[in-house]
Amino acid sequence: MEGLKQALSGVVGDANVFDDPAVLESYAADQSFVLPIRPKAVVRPGSEDEVQALVVWANQTGTPLVPVSSGAPHFYGDTVPSAPGAVMVDLSRMNRVLKIDVRDRMAVIEPGVTYEQLRPALAAEGLMLVSPLAPRADKSVVASLLERQPTLVPRMNYALPEPLRNMGVVWGDGTRFSTGESGNSVLDIDAQWNAGRRLTDPKGPAQTDFFRLLTGAQGTLGIVTWASVRVQLIPGAKKTMFVTTDTLDDLVDLSYRLTRLRVGDELLIVNGTYLAALVAADGAEAVALRASLPAWTLIIGIAGRALRPEQRVAVAEQDIAAEVAARGLKLQNAVPGVAKSRIEAALEGVAPEPHWKLRAKGAVADIFFHTVLENAPGYLATMVDAAVAHKYPVADVGVYLQPQHQGVSYHMEFSLPYAADDKADAARTRALYSDASTRLMAEGAYFSRPYGEWADPVYNRDAAAKDALRTVKAILDPNNILNPSKLCF
Amino acid sequence: MPISDEAYAALEAIVGKENVSRNPAVMDSYAFQWLAELVRPELSHFMPRPVAVVMPGSTEEVQAIVKLANKYKIKVKPHSTGWYHWAAPMYDDKDTMQLDMRRMNKIEIDEKNGIAIVEPYVIHAQLHAEAIKRGWTCNIIGAGCSCSVVAAACAYMGMGPGAYYMGGHAENVLGMEWITPAGEIVRSGSLGSGDGWFNSEGPGPSVRGVIRGALGQRGGLGVFTRCAIKLVHWSGRTDWPVTGTIPAYRLPVDETQRAYTLAAPDWDRWADLYYKIYDNELGFIFHRQFNLAGADLAPAFWLMYTDPTKKLSDVPAMVADPEIAELTEEMRISFQIVLSGRSVADIELQDQILDDVLAETGCWKVERFCDKDMAEFTNVYLQRLGHKHINFVWVGGYIGSWMQIGTPDWVKGYIPTAQAGLARDAKDGLLVQCGGDAMMGPGSSYPGGGGVGLEQFVSYDPNDEASTRAGIKHMEDAITDALSIGYPPGKEAMYLEMGHSDDRTFKKWAAAKQPFTFIFQRKIKEHYDPNDIGDRMYNYIPEEYEPAK
């Protein structure tokens, strides 16, 4: 162990190597059902050079490396080692906002930059980043984008990896690389920036979308050391509106129409349980709230940017109202039973501790996948059937639908809170999680981010993808150093 | 050498006798490709001749053909609609069969979800026509509506005048069906899992990242047999009531749309205007289109083109007309924009904001080109991109030089050099003298803005040796000019590369800033193309050129 510590200290310095059992234990498990495995050490590199040196060392010694950028709680098992003897590469020290350009609306950040950190930095320049729903304060922006977490503004989700553009990466074989536009010239961000390049085009270099290989990779192919992201102007005027219904089906046609028209900023559908969890201060309030909230709520953020923002909002509201009325529904200024400001805070801010998904019962299992909207009611019925079969309270199932890629596909999420310290509840929820996932997959739900136990069935359905990804893995990480045993590796 | 009788018979067995040919005259018709004279010995108009042309009718037939090609060690080069000389076989000394995809031409539109699934010979005009009827529209690539959607989305770039709002095909492709050179089928994203054509990413790392990047494989690594494309809402009339006299079609501008030509007094304010258009989220189609005729000639040309009483030979006199001369100066730095609103109130507000932006930047609407006749012509031209013959109109051939893509501020940095370079190279009259600025291109090749590119249209006579040689010299000069101001080479470098040997090209890539890119691609090629039936249109460097780490 001392030899290991010495070797790691040689790369990142004594102060950035940790082998205290309590520290190691904090990385050994997360909120998911994956098997806990304690890492051997934790290192916190401070630079791209140090990351590269760590990868080279790991290749020489055959040591698995598990990259992690965000603070706890983690939810999906991707940052829990799957192999013993791993070293966690905690990138939280690499937390510089390297560039912000207002005119070109681009920013360059390191992987340790969190939502809590980036939001004020951008706001000071009149800019904002389209974000996921209520991210935790210490969630890494880069990690969130690499995970392809759904973001809130479908019309600005030009492609599913948006707003992620270029990246610096150290591949598993130790090669340092720049993706996209940045990979076409001298590999120095400052030099590129000074030459007027703003690292906006994510594609390439050449005939490979390297950035796409890194998304959804769970740190198995490379360690990202910086990323450029597209940012937006902060709206000059904003308004949040709602449509509430008794059934999900009643919102399907309207959501199709609004995404098609690209009207509004935030657009999402939640059931009462999910909305209650999002805004409640604690579990008791969540339970009380959900009884009074509508069964389903479509949340619509309307924004106006740059010139005449108030008029933009007014015209958008008028257009939305016409579409809502045409479907016999009502556009509302508030959701009965909850203060509007609490919903707006969830849309615009970072989530306070403890994490809102954990407030109800202390633990949560999320099932999420992509679908076209018309199939969502069917998947909901399947989920309810599965919950009933496993005697899981249907009222506890939170449901979230997030249009992505300008409305072509939807992130659909079932959130299953449970009491971690209640073994029976945990076992029941785990069984439901597995069974419902299997059923949904069989019905065509696309598990595009196959964490944990989803990986095997997903890749068994797509042998060509498995072959392609294993080929890529063999090129980029030939010694299988990076987060081994995840996905199909 | 000719294809063997045995291999030929095997091809006939797959697709039927009527769908395969080795007739020399037919083979020459495939070798005759635009730009060939710029890169071939003795300025020949012919690229290497294929040994056979085969027309598959299904994915299964493509797969069978590719497996046969492996057996007989014949290279395969798919061709849907073709654009540029690299659509042809690349080698005189290596047998290549050309796959003509014209029998695979089906369109399926999922109206509910706004998704079109197309086969390789579906051209953008067909998809657009079918989409419009259903209240949808689609991005049409800059090369025009006569080009294959699959080729643009999977095998080349896929950007166009609508990419700024609609997304280019790189952003819009929702699934790809790819027959690898080894004859295996790879389907990307949700399609690969059997879940439908709605998500091109994943599972996990996106397999599509292997299949296409900034460029597609340009026929160098297998064959694409289908893809799905995201459609875009169309707020106008679904009966597409085109009027006008051929070829100056006109499309009435709907009450929720506007079609304008805007102009700037200088390139700084041109860039300012682009940024403000981005920030104010204006624009449905946004392109510098008319200037492809050259800033000195464009106004006269388009007024001639849209006037049924005028002909091409009238242009010189029109240029000399004082009114047109004034117009030429008014719109020297100009571009086209089509606005589209969700509603009348929305488009009226967009109009007001555009006026605000023009006032802020000191730019203006070119009134003559915003008059009803020119607005309607602009509308159909930009919406459908069906006037690609214009590209060749001056003397029968053109080269696109420059076209480096970046932010407006970055692009404006190369404009003076590109202008001076063309003026210099056209001085002796061997290239069309249009004033130095024949630059055109998208307001943004990437949705939401930020990716302008300007392609210099350099017109030469492909049947005149001196003019063709001047075209070649211009391409070489453009590379030198770009490097002299710290910009990378543009499209001309890609064109010229077709005339280089494999050895020269591989050495160039091995010396790239990131040769790892091409090492990675070689390893992908080794996996998917063990018998080397593709060509170097999929860029890679062989092992012997691998640079030291």
Split at pLDDT 50, 70, 90, the class of B337 is very high
Are B431 and B422 contacting, i.e. CB atoms less than 8 angstroms apart?
A: yes
Interface of B with A in 427-446 (CB under 8 A): 445-446
Q: What are the tens digits of pLDDT across the range A376-402? A: 999 999 999 999 999 999 999 999 999
Tokens of B230: 């995201």
How far apart (Å, rounded) are the C-alpha atoms in residues A231 and A106?
A: 6
Work out the burial of residue B483: count CB atoms within 10 Å of its CB; fewer than 13 is exposed, 13-18 middle, 19 or more buried. exposed
Residue with tokens 């050391």: A225
Which candidate from A183, A200, A210 shows the least CB-CB separation from B450?
A200
Residues of chain A positioned with their CB less than 8 A from the CB of B410: 195-198
How far does CA A380 lie from the centroid of its chain? Answer: 22
Residue of A nearest to B445 (CA): A201
Q: Which residues of A touch B198 (CB under 8 A)?
A: 370-372, 408-409, 446
**A22 and A140 assigned to the same domain:** no
| Distance of alpha carbon A152 from alpha carbon A149, whole angstroms | 10
**To the nearest whole angstrom, how far is the Cα of A22 from the nearest Cα of chain B?**
31
Among candidates A449, A463, A414, A465, which has minimal Cα distance to A435? A414
Contacts of A488 in chain B (CB under 8 A): 204
Rounded to 5 degrees, what angle do the CA atoms A229, A198, B176 make?
60
Looking at CA atoms only, how far is residue B469 from chain A in angstroms? 29
Asked whether residue A77 falls in the same domain as residue A157, the answer is no
User: What is the rounded (10 degree) CA torsion for B503, B505, B510, B512?
Assistant: 160
Compare all CA atoms of chain B with the CA of A165 and give the residue at the minimum distance: B446
The H or E element containing residue B453 is strand B452-460
Cβ of A409 and B198 within 8 Å?
Answer: yes
Q: What pLDDT, in 10s, does the model give residues B522-542?
A: 999 999 999 999 999 999 999
Q: Which residues in chain A are closer than 8 Å to B345, comparing Cβ atoms?
A: 315, 318-319
User: A46-89, pLDDT tens digit by residue?
Assistant: 999 999 999 999 999 999 999 999 999 999 999 999 999 999 99
Instruction: Please name the residue that has the structure tokens 């130790």.
Output: A174
Q: Give the nearest partner residue to A464 out of B187, B213, B214, using CB atoms.
A: B187
Q: pLDDT tens for residues A404-451?
A: 999 999 999 999 999 989 999 999 999 999 999 999 999 999 999 999
Q: Distances in Å between the alpha carbon of B270 and those of A229, B292, B354, B393? A: 25, 17, 14, 27
Model confidence at B546, in pLDDT bands (50, 70, 90)? confident
Domain that residue A38 falls in: 2-92
Amino acid at B478: A
Does a structural domain hold residue A125? yes
- What is the predicted pLDDT for the residue at B350? 98
Residue A457 lies in a domain: no
pLDDT of residue B115 exceeding 90, the answer is: yes
pLDDT score recorded for residue B192? 94
Q: What contacts A57, CB < 8 A, 6 or more positions away?
A: A7, A8, A11, A63
Q: Is residue A449 part of a domain?
A: no
Residue A372 has pLDDT above 60, yes or no: yes
Cβ contact A160–B349 (<8 Å)? no
**Interchain CB distance below 8 Å, B209 and A212:** yes
Of A92, A110, A141, which residue constitutes the final position of a domain? A92
> In chain A, which residues have their Cβ closer than 8 Å to the Cβ of B200?
160
Q: Look up residue A138 and give its two tokens.
A: 């210490």
Compute the average pLDDT of residues A363-387: 98
Indicate yes or no: CB of B353 within 8 angstroms of CB of A462: no
pLDDT tens digit sequence for A200-241:
999 999 999 999 999 999 999 999 999 999 999 999 999 999
- Closest Cα in chain A to B273: A103
Same domain? A222 vs A247: no
Q: Note which residues in 456-495 of chain B have CB less than 8 A from chain A.
A: 486, 488
How large is the average pLDDT for residues A288-314? Answer: 97
In this structure, what token pair is assigned to residue B419? 């202008």
**Chain B: closest CA distance from residue A351 (Å):** 27
Side chain identity, residue A372? V
User: Whole-angstrom Cα distance, residue A422 to residue A465?
Assistant: 39
**Do A21 and A143 reside in the same domain of the chain?**
no
B197 touches chain A (CB under 8 A): no
On the question of pLDDT at B521 being above 80, the answer is yes
DSSP B383-416: HH---GGGGGTTTSEEEEEEEEEE-HHHHHTTHH
Instruction: Say which CATH topology domain B243-492 has.
Output: Vanillyl-alcohol Oxidase; Chain A, domain 3 (3.40.462)
Facing residue for B192 by CB, picked from A216, A449, A462: A462
Residue B58 has a CB neighbour count (10 Å cut-off) of: 14
Q: Are residues A255 and A380 in the same domain?
A: yes
Q: Tell me if A478 is assigned to some domain.
A: no
Is A162 in the same domain as A54? no
Scanning B337-356 for CB atoms below 8 A from A yields 342-343, 345-346, 349, 352-353, 356
pLDDT of residue A206: 96
| Chain B residues touching A180 at Cβ < 8 A | 214
Give pLDDT, residue A186. 79
Q: Nearest Cα to A429, choosing from A362, A479, A333, A332?
A: A362
Is the confidence at residue B549, as pLDDT, over 60?
A: no
Are B198 and A372 an interchain contact pair (Cβ–Cβ within 8 Å)? yes
A177 plus A50 within the same structural domain? no
Q: What is the pLDDT of residues B354-370, one digit of tens each?
A: 999 999 999 999 999 99
- All residues of chain A having their beta carbon less than 8 Å from the beta carbon of residue B207 are 464-465, 468-469
Residues A11 and A52 in one domain: yes
Please check whether residues A334 and A364 belong to one and the same domain: yes
What is the percent of chain A with per-residue pLDDT over 90, rounded to a whole number? 96
Strands A87-90 and A41-43: parallel
With 0-12 / 13-18 / 19 or more C-beta atoms within 10 angstroms meaning exposed / middle / buried, residue B399 is buried
* Exposed / middle / buried, residue B543 (Cβ in 10 Å: 0-12, 13-18, 19+): exposed
CA-based radius of gyration for chain B: 23
Question: For testing the chain B interface, which of A302, A404, A462, A489 should be mutated: the one with the most B CBs within 10 Å?
Answer: A462
Residue A171 lies in a domain: yes
Chain A residues inside the 8 Å CB shell of B202: 148, 216, 446, 448-450
> Chain B closest CA to A280's CA: distance in Å?
33
Do A161 and A300 fall within a single domain? no
pLDDT at B23 (0 to 100): 97
Same structural domain for residues A423 and A404?
A: yes
Find the CATH number of the domain harbouring A344: 3.40.462.10
Which one of 3.30.465.10, 3.40.50.150, 3.40.1350.10, 3.10.20.30 gives the CATH number of domain B107-233? 3.30.465.10
Return the SS3 of B229: strand
Three-state SS sequence of A402-470: EEEHHHCEEEEEEEEEECCCCHHHHHHHHHHHHHHHHHHHHCCCECCCCCHHHHHHHHHHCHHHHHHHH
- Distance (Å) from the C-alpha of residue B471 to the closest C-alpha of chain A? 26
Question: Closest residue of A to B166, CA-based?
Answer: A158
Whether chain A has a CB inside 8 Å of the CB on B548: the answer is no
Average pLDDT over every residue of B493-497? 94
- Within-domain flag for A483: no
CA A3 to chain centre: 37
Residue where one domain finishes, among candidates A233, A259, A290:
A233
Mean pLDDT of all residues in chain B?
96
Q: Specify if A474 maps to a domain.
A: no
Mean of all residue pLDDT scores within chain A: 97
Contact A361, A353 (CB under 8 A): no
Find the CB nearest B206 among A212, A312, A406.
A212
Q: How far apart are CA A344 and CA A348, in angstroms?
A: 6
Among A54, A71, A92, which residue terminates a domain? A92
AA letter at B263: A
Asked if B392 is an interface residue toward chain A (Cβ–Cβ < 8 A), one would say: no
Q: Note whether B450 contacts A: Cβ–Cβ < 8 A.
A: yes
Residue A465 located in a structural domain: no
| Contact: B523, A161; criterion CB under 8 Å | no
pLDDT of residue B435: 87
Q: Do B342 and A319 touch (CB under 8 A)?
A: yes
pLDDT for position A185: 82
Q: Indicate which CATH number applies to the domain containing A37.
A: 3.30.43.10
The Cα–Cα gap between A197 and B300 comes to 36
Fold of domain B5-100: 3.30.43
Smallest CA–CA distance, residue A293 to chain B, in Å, is 30
> Could you give the maximum distance between any two Cα atoms of chain A, in Å?
71
Number of domains in chain A: 3
Which chain B residues are within 8 Å of A370, Cβ to Cβ? 190, 198-199
- Alpha carbon A133 to chain centroid, angstroms: 9
Bridge partner residues of A90 (DSSP)? A68
Q: Is the same domain home to A126 and A212?
A: yes
pLDDT given at position B388: 86
